[in-house]
Amino acid sequence: MTNTAIHPFRIDIPQTEVDELRRRLREVRVPEVVAGTEDDWGRGIAPRYLAELAAYWRDEFDWRAQEAKLNAFDQFTTEIDGQTIHFVHVRSAAEGAVPLLITHGYPGSVVEFLDVLGPLTDPAAHGGDPADAFHVVIASLPGFGFSMPLASTGWELARTADAFAELMTRLGYDRFVAQGGDVGAGVTSRLAAVYPERVIATHVNSDQGMLGLVGEQLPMPDGLSADDLAAIEQARASWAEQKGYLVLQSTQPNAIAAALTDSPIAQLAWIAEKLQTWTDPALPLGERVDRDLMLTNISIYWFTRSGASAAQFLWESAHSGMAWAAPSDVPQGWAIFGTSPLMRRVMNPGGHLEHFTEYTAGGHFPALEQPKLFLDDVRAFFRRRRG
């Protein structure tokens, strides 16, 4: 018999685990730094920044304070297809609120959305219009955060979309809107393709890093100038330099799993670099994401040992084709953060998307970096699609 029970969940990391993290950080073996590379982000995380961030994590970061912030929101777990699924579920008191499913990406978590949960569910209390209210569900991807342990192989974007559709059914939401970025964008798009009768509309966020996928996962647009083509080639070259994390996890996840599970400095370096280099390029590296929020996200990966299983998820997704890219007639809105002049021509060449907005600020994690811009864009798009 299928177990459809939903259980209240509260984060309560044992103090022994918190103490063990600090002990490991005190005894960490720091690699020798090649002279002249102390502040070099071109080889991965800058060594000086990593050392300073590790010291802060060890001596000053207050996990209990961050844990309390997370526990201020209602959380639950349920078992779907044999897998524990963790999710935040906050219902709005506003009449006419629409169910909204938000899916994070890699290397993110529900932490990304803490600053927008209140305004989304209770806009009136945050200076907004009550008509923009949502019942919000933020689900942790299988093998990420508290959706642990990873129960079996085969968990990738398409299977996750099916699980999240079942989650919304269990919560009583026959129809809903969906939002996502990165891996979450794939899950969101797959939901629209497979469940068009249930998904009212979808909103996807991305950044100018998408240019690096032109000719690989995205088609090369017609009519580009020589300067445009040169800019795309530069973006492709930049992506080739940055995608080592994905190549490794998509081909040999076990090679990195041991390090991410056993060494907090490895987990810190692995994620913190992305939370800095994928974010707003107008801001200095090392100052792009709030330090406590960043370490809260990384601490969740560490305490749940989900760095290894997240790598398995990426392996499964890389070996499952592009089912996430299946076409759909469900209305879709795009928001591009940290945009470039080429993005519209690449992503919306025919102007077919009714909602395609661009922002110079922000980057890969807009709800974390630019919560107000993210919030305004989500509201604006779904305002026309609430039926």
The pLDDT confidence band at residue 1, using thresholds 50, 70 and 90, is low
Say yes or no to pLDDT of 21 above 70. yes
Task: Please give the C-alpha separations between residue 331 and each of 212, 220, 334, 353, 366, in angstroms, as whole numbers.
Answer: 26, 23, 10, 8, 21
End-to-end CA distance of the chain: 35
Say yes or no to pLDDT of 329 above 90. yes
| Domains in the chain: boundaries | 6-19+44-383
> What is the rounded CA–CA span in Å between residue 217 and residue 213?
5
Could you report the per-residue pLDDT of 230-248, keeping only the tens digit for each?
Answer: 889 998 999 999 899 999 9
Report which residue type is found at 180. Answer: G
Upper half-sphere CA count for residue 196 (Cβ side, 13 Å): 8
Could you report the per-residue pLDDT of 26-58, keeping only the tens digit for each?
Answer: 999 988 999 999 999 999 999 999 999 999 999
| Amino acid 372: pLDDT | 97
| Amino acid 282: pLDDT | 87
| Amino acid 327: pLDDT | 83
Q: How many CB atoms lie within 10 A of CB 329?
A: 8
**Topology of domain 6-19+44-383, per CATH?**
Rossmann fold (3.40.50)
Task: Please give the C-alpha separations between residue 222 and each of 180, 232, 335, in angstroms, as whole numbers.
Answer: 28, 13, 22
> What is the rounded CA–CA span in Å between residue 354 and residue 224?
23
Say yes or no to pLDDT of 220 above 80. yes
The pLDDT confidence band at residue 347, using thresholds 50, 70 and 90, is confident
Mean pLDDT for the stretch of residues 71-96: 98
| Amino acid 325: pLDDT | 73
Could you report the per-residue pLDDT of 249-304, keeping only the tens digit for each?
Answer: 999 999 999 999 999 999 999 999 999 999 998 898 888 999 999 999 999 999 99
Q: In percent, how much of the chain has pLDDT > 70? A: 99
Q: Quick check: helix, strand or coil at residue 130?
A: helix
Q: Quick check: helix, strand or coil at residue 338?
A: coil
From the list 261, 262, 264, the residue with the least C-alpha distance to 312 is 261
Could you report the per-residue pLDDT of 125-167, keeping only the tens digit for each?
Answer: 999 999 999 999 999 999 999 999 999 999 999 999 999 999 9
Which of these ranges, 48-62, 153-167, 337-351, 361-375, has the smallest mean pLDDT? 337-351
Task: Please give the C-alpha separations between residue 344 and each of 121, 202, 278, 297, 349, in angstroms, as whole numbers.
Answer: 31, 18, 20, 31, 6
| Amino acid 387: pLDDT | 62
Beta-carbon contacts of residue 83 (< 8 Å; ≥ 6 apart): 142, 147, 150, 151, 152, 155, 163
Say yes or no to pLDDT of 204 above 90. yes
Upper half-sphere CA count for residue 112 (Cβ side, 13 Å): 29
Mean pLDDT for the stretch of residues 341-351: 84
| Amino acid 180: pLDDT | 98
Q: In percent, how much of the chain has pLDDT > 90? A: 82
